[in-house]
Chains A and B, each alone.
Chain A
Protein backbone atom coordinates (compact mmCIF):
# COMPACT_ATOMS: atom_id res chain seq x y z
CA UNK A 1 0.00 0.00 0.00
CA UNK A 2 1.08 3.58 -0.63
CA UNK A 3 1.46 5.42 2.67
CA UNK A 4 0.46 9.09 2.72
CA UNK A 5 2.19 11.16 5.39
CA UNK A 6 0.61 14.52 6.14
CA UNK A 7 2.18 17.28 8.17
CA UNK A 8 1.57 18.92 10.44
CA UNK A 9 -1.15 16.88 12.14
CA UNK A 10 -2.58 20.13 13.49
CA UNK A 11 -1.92 23.82 13.24
CA UNK A 12 -3.19 27.07 14.67
CA UNK A 13 -3.07 30.25 12.61
CA UNK A 14 -4.57 33.73 12.59
CA UNK A 15 -7.30 34.96 10.28
CA UNK A 16 -5.66 36.16 7.10
CA UNK A 17 -2.58 33.95 7.46
CA UNK A 18 -1.29 31.79 4.64
CA UNK A 19 -1.53 28.13 5.66
CA UNK A 20 0.45 25.31 4.07
CA UNK A 21 -0.02 21.57 4.53
CA UNK A 22 2.26 18.95 3.04
CA UNK A 23 1.59 15.38 1.99
CA UNK A 24 4.30 12.88 1.13
CA UNK A 25 3.64 9.62 -0.68
CA UNK A 26 5.73 6.52 0.03
CA UNK A 27 6.24 6.07 -3.72
CA UNK A 28 5.80 8.03 -6.94
CA UNK A 29 2.12 8.73 -7.65
CA UNK A 30 2.61 11.25 -10.47
CA UNK A 31 -0.13 13.84 -9.93
CA UNK A 32 -2.73 11.36 -8.72
CA UNK A 33 -3.46 13.27 -5.54
CA UNK A 34 -6.61 14.87 -4.17
CA UNK A 35 -7.35 17.15 -1.22
CA UNK A 36 -10.53 17.14 0.89
CA UNK A 37 -11.94 19.39 3.59
CA UNK A 38 -13.95 17.87 6.42
CA UNK A 39 -15.85 20.05 8.86
CA UNK A 40 -16.97 18.55 12.20
CA UNK A 41 -19.89 16.16 11.81
CA UNK A 42 -19.89 16.49 8.02
CA UNK A 43 -18.76 14.41 5.10
CA UNK A 44 -15.49 15.30 3.39
CA UNK A 45 -15.66 17.72 0.45
CA UNK A 46 -13.42 17.49 -2.60
CA UNK A 47 -11.38 20.70 -3.00
CA UNK A 48 -8.44 19.87 -5.27
CA UNK A 49 -8.02 17.00 -7.73
CA UNK A 50 -5.04 15.83 -9.77
CA UNK A 51 -2.75 17.70 -7.35
CA UNK A 52 -3.51 21.21 -8.58
CA UNK A 53 -6.97 21.44 -10.15
CA UNK A 54 -9.61 23.37 -8.24
CA UNK A 55 -12.92 21.52 -8.06
CA UNK A 56 -15.86 23.42 -9.55
CA UNK A 57 -17.41 25.79 -7.04
CA UNK A 58 -14.46 25.80 -4.65
CA UNK A 59 -13.12 29.26 -3.75
CA UNK A 60 -9.91 30.29 -5.46
CA UNK A 61 -8.20 30.87 -2.12
CA UNK A 62 -7.40 27.15 -2.03
CA UNK A 63 -4.58 25.72 -4.15
CA UNK A 64 -2.46 22.64 -4.56
CA UNK A 65 0.85 21.75 -6.14
CA UNK A 66 3.36 18.97 -6.46
CA UNK A 67 4.02 15.73 -8.27
CA UNK A 68 5.83 12.49 -7.69
CA UNK A 69 6.00 12.05 -3.93
CA UNK A 70 5.74 15.57 -2.50
CA UNK A 71 2.60 17.68 -2.51
CA UNK A 72 1.46 20.93 -0.94
CA UNK A 73 -1.96 22.34 -0.14
CA UNK A 74 -2.32 26.04 0.58
CA UNK A 75 -5.02 28.26 2.01
CA UNK A 76 -4.06 31.72 0.76
CA UNK A 77 -5.80 33.71 3.51
CA UNK A 78 -7.28 31.74 6.39
CA UNK A 79 -10.91 32.51 7.15
CA UNK A 80 -13.05 31.33 10.09
CA UNK A 81 -15.09 29.13 7.73
CA UNK A 82 -11.92 27.25 6.77
CA UNK A 83 -11.72 25.63 10.20
CA UNK A 84 -11.73 21.93 9.38
CA UNK A 85 -9.58 18.86 8.99
CA UNK A 86 -7.89 18.49 5.60
CA UNK A 87 -6.98 15.14 4.05
CA UNK A 88 -4.90 14.16 1.06
CA UNK A 89 -5.79 11.01 -0.89
CA UNK A 90 -3.84 9.15 -3.56
CA UNK A 91 -5.14 7.09 -6.46
CA UNK A 92 -1.84 6.16 -8.04
CA UNK A 93 -2.30 2.59 -6.90
CA UNK A 94 -4.97 0.53 -5.24
CA UNK A 95 -5.86 0.48 -2.44
CA UNK A 96 -6.88 4.12 -2.42
CA UNK A 97 -5.33 5.66 0.69
CA UNK A 98 -5.70 8.85 2.69
CA UNK A 99 -3.28 10.88 4.73
CA UNK A 100 -3.82 11.09 8.46
CA UNK A 101 -5.35 14.56 8.29
CA UNK A 102 -4.39 18.08 9.35
CA UNK A 103 -6.66 19.86 11.80
CA UNK A 104 -6.68 23.62 11.17
CA UNK A 105 -7.71 25.94 13.97
CA UNK A 106 -7.88 29.70 14.47
CA UNK A 107 -5.36 31.24 16.85
Chain B
Protein backbone atom coordinates (compact mmCIF):
# COMPACT_ATOMS: atom_id res chain seq x y z
CA UNK B 1 0.00 0.00 0.00
CA UNK B 2 1.44 3.33 -1.04
CA UNK B 3 2.03 5.77 1.80
CA UNK B 4 3.15 9.38 1.82
CA UNK B 5 4.46 11.26 4.84
CA UNK B 6 5.18 14.97 5.10
CA UNK B 7 7.94 16.25 7.35
CA UNK B 8 9.39 19.62 8.20
CA UNK B 9 9.19 22.52 10.67
CA UNK B 10 5.78 23.35 12.03
CA UNK B 11 6.70 26.97 12.65
CA UNK B 12 8.34 29.35 10.20
CA UNK B 13 9.12 33.04 10.71
CA UNK B 14 7.73 35.66 8.33
CA UNK B 15 9.98 36.38 5.32
CA UNK B 16 11.78 33.04 5.74
CA UNK B 17 11.53 29.92 3.60
CA UNK B 18 9.14 27.07 4.32
CA UNK B 19 10.71 23.68 3.56
CA UNK B 20 8.84 20.38 3.53
CA UNK B 21 9.72 16.88 2.41
CA UNK B 22 7.39 14.07 1.41
CA UNK B 23 8.67 10.52 1.83
CA UNK B 24 7.01 7.88 -0.34
CA UNK B 25 6.90 4.27 0.82
CA UNK B 26 5.30 1.14 -0.61
CA UNK B 27 6.06 2.21 -4.17
CA UNK B 28 8.62 3.95 -6.34
CA UNK B 29 8.61 7.66 -7.02
CA UNK B 30 10.31 6.89 -10.36
CA UNK B 31 7.23 6.08 -12.41
CA UNK B 32 6.30 7.67 -15.70
CA UNK B 33 2.63 7.28 -14.87
CA UNK B 34 2.56 9.72 -12.00
CA UNK B 35 3.43 13.17 -10.85
CA UNK B 36 3.89 14.11 -7.21
CA UNK B 37 2.09 17.12 -5.90
CA UNK B 38 1.64 19.59 -3.07
CA UNK B 39 -1.71 21.00 -1.98
CA UNK B 40 -2.40 23.29 0.96
CA UNK B 41 -5.42 24.16 3.06
CA UNK B 42 -5.54 27.23 5.33
CA UNK B 43 -7.33 26.54 8.62
CA UNK B 44 -11.07 26.30 8.03
CA UNK B 45 -10.74 26.99 4.31
CA UNK B 46 -10.60 25.15 1.00
CA UNK B 47 -7.89 23.42 -0.99
CA UNK B 48 -5.25 25.15 -3.11
CA UNK B 49 -2.97 23.35 -5.54
CA UNK B 50 0.67 24.42 -5.22
CA UNK B 51 2.40 22.37 -7.89
CA UNK B 52 3.39 18.99 -9.34
CA UNK B 53 6.77 17.42 -10.07
CA UNK B 54 7.75 14.39 -12.15
CA UNK B 55 10.65 12.15 -11.11
CA UNK B 56 12.49 13.43 -14.19
CA UNK B 57 12.40 16.89 -12.61
CA UNK B 58 9.76 18.52 -14.80
CA UNK B 59 7.48 20.79 -12.81
CA UNK B 60 4.15 22.58 -13.00
CA UNK B 61 3.49 25.37 -10.51
CA UNK B 62 0.40 27.39 -9.65
CA UNK B 63 1.05 30.81 -11.22
CA UNK B 64 -0.22 32.48 -8.05
CA UNK B 65 2.75 31.00 -6.15
CA UNK B 66 5.23 30.37 -8.94
CA UNK B 67 7.61 33.18 -8.05
CA UNK B 68 8.09 31.74 -4.55
CA UNK B 69 7.88 27.95 -5.13
CA UNK B 70 10.61 25.43 -5.84
CA UNK B 71 9.96 21.72 -5.98
CA UNK B 72 12.62 19.01 -6.24
CA UNK B 73 12.83 15.24 -6.23
CA UNK B 74 15.38 12.80 -4.78
CA UNK B 75 14.83 9.40 -6.36
CA UNK B 76 17.55 7.76 -4.27
CA UNK B 77 15.57 8.55 -1.13
CA UNK B 78 12.11 8.21 -2.74
CA UNK B 79 11.33 11.75 -1.62
CA UNK B 80 10.18 15.01 -3.10
CA UNK B 81 10.34 18.43 -1.55
CA UNK B 82 8.72 21.85 -1.46
CA UNK B 83 10.30 25.20 -0.74
CA UNK B 84 8.16 28.32 -0.42
CA UNK B 85 10.09 31.54 0.06
CA UNK B 86 9.21 34.88 1.64
CA UNK B 87 6.35 33.45 3.65
CA UNK B 88 3.71 35.53 5.38
CA UNK B 89 0.85 34.70 7.72
CA UNK B 90 -1.27 33.98 4.63
CA UNK B 91 0.89 30.90 4.02
CA UNK B 92 -0.23 29.32 7.29
CA UNK B 93 -1.94 26.10 6.26
CA UNK B 94 -1.99 22.34 6.39
CA UNK B 95 0.32 21.19 3.61
CA UNK B 96 -0.43 17.88 1.91
CA UNK B 97 1.69 15.87 -0.46
CA UNK B 98 -0.04 13.56 -2.90
CA UNK B 99 0.44 11.23 -5.84
CA UNK B 100 -0.98 12.64 -9.05
CA UNK B 101 -2.08 10.57 -12.00
CA UNK B 102 -0.47 11.83 -15.18
CA UNK B 103 -2.63 13.54 -17.79
CA UNK B 104 -1.19 14.96 -21.03
CA UNK B 105 2.06 15.70 -19.26
CA UNK B 106 0.63 17.39 -16.20
CA UNK B 107 -1.76 16.03 -13.60
CA UNK B 108 -5.31 14.87 -13.11
CA UNK B 109 -6.38 13.10 -9.94
CA UNK B 110 -4.73 13.14 -6.52
CA UNK B 111 -5.19 9.50 -5.60
CA UNK B 112 -2.94 9.01 -2.57
CA UNK B 113 -2.41 11.69 0.07
CA UNK B 114 -0.18 12.21 3.05
CA UNK B 115 -1.81 12.96 6.39
CA UNK B 116 -0.87 16.62 6.12
CA UNK B 117 1.30 18.84 8.26
CA UNK B 118 0.34 22.18 9.76
CA UNK B 119 2.81 24.95 9.08
CA UNK B 120 2.29 28.17 11.00
CA UNK B 121 3.97 31.38 9.92
CA UNK B 122 4.58 33.54 12.96
CA UNK B 123 7.39 35.40 14.66
Q: In the complex, what residues of A have CB within 8 A of residue B101's CB?
A: 49
In the bound complex, what is the Cα–Cα distance between A98 and B98 (angstroms)? 15
On whether the beta carbons of B113 and A49 are closer than 8 Å, the reply is: no
On whether the beta carbons of A97 and B108 are closer than 8 Å, the reply is: no
With contacts A43-B116, A55-B111 taken as known, whether A101 is within 8 angstroms of B49 at the C-beta atoms is no
Chain A binding site: helix, strand, loop or mixed by DSSP? loop
For the complex, count residues of B whose C-beta is within 8 A of A: 23
Question: Is B76 an interface residue when CB atoms closer than 8 A count as contact?
Answer: no
In the bound complex, what is the Cα–Cα distance between A69 and B31 (angstroms)? 32
Binding-face segment, B13-21, B22-30, B56-64, B78-86 = B56-64
Chain B binding site: helix, strand, loop or mixed by DSSP? strand
Which residue of chain B has its CB nearest to the CB of A101?
B46
Question: Is A15 an interface residue when CB atoms closer than 8 A count as contact?
Answer: no
On whether the beta carbons of A43 and B113 are closer than 8 Å, the reply is: yes
In the bound complex, what is the Cα–Cα distance between A1 and B96 (angstroms)? 22
With contacts A43-B96, A43-B116 taken as known, whether A95 is within 8 angstroms of B109 at the C-beta atoms is no
**Per-residue A-contact encoding for B25-59, CB less than 8 Å = 1, 0 else:** 00000000000000000000011110010000000
Question: Is A68 an interface residue when CB atoms closer than 8 A count as contact?
Answer: no
On whether the beta carbons of A46 and B47 are closer than 8 Å, the reply is: no
Which residue of chain A has its CB nearest to the CB of B116?
A43
In the bound complex, what is the Cα–Cα distance between A36 and B41 (angstroms)? 14
For the complex, count residues of A whose C-beta is within 8 A of B: 22
Q: In the complex, what residues of B have CB within 8 A of residue A101's CB?
A: 46-47
Q: In the complex, what residues of B have CB within 8 A of residue A32's CB?
A: 103, 108
Minimum distance in angstroms from B107 CB to a CB of chain A? 6
On whether the beta carbons of A44 and B46 are closer than 8 Å, the reply is: no
In the bound complex, what is the Cα–Cα distance between A1 and B62 (angstroms)? 10
Minimum distance in angstroms from B79 CB to a CB of chain A? 18
Which residue of chain B has its CB nearest to the CB of A44?
B113
In the bound complex, what is the Cα–Cα distance between A1 and B71 (angstroms)? 21
Which residue of chain B has its CB nearest to the CB of A6?
B46
**A positions within 8 Å CB-CB of B:** 1, 32, 34, 36, 42-46, 49, 55, 87, 89, 91, 94-101
Besides the contacts A44-B96, A46-B110, what 4 more A-B pairs have beta carbons closer than 8 Å? A32-B108, A43-B114, A89-B47, A95-B49
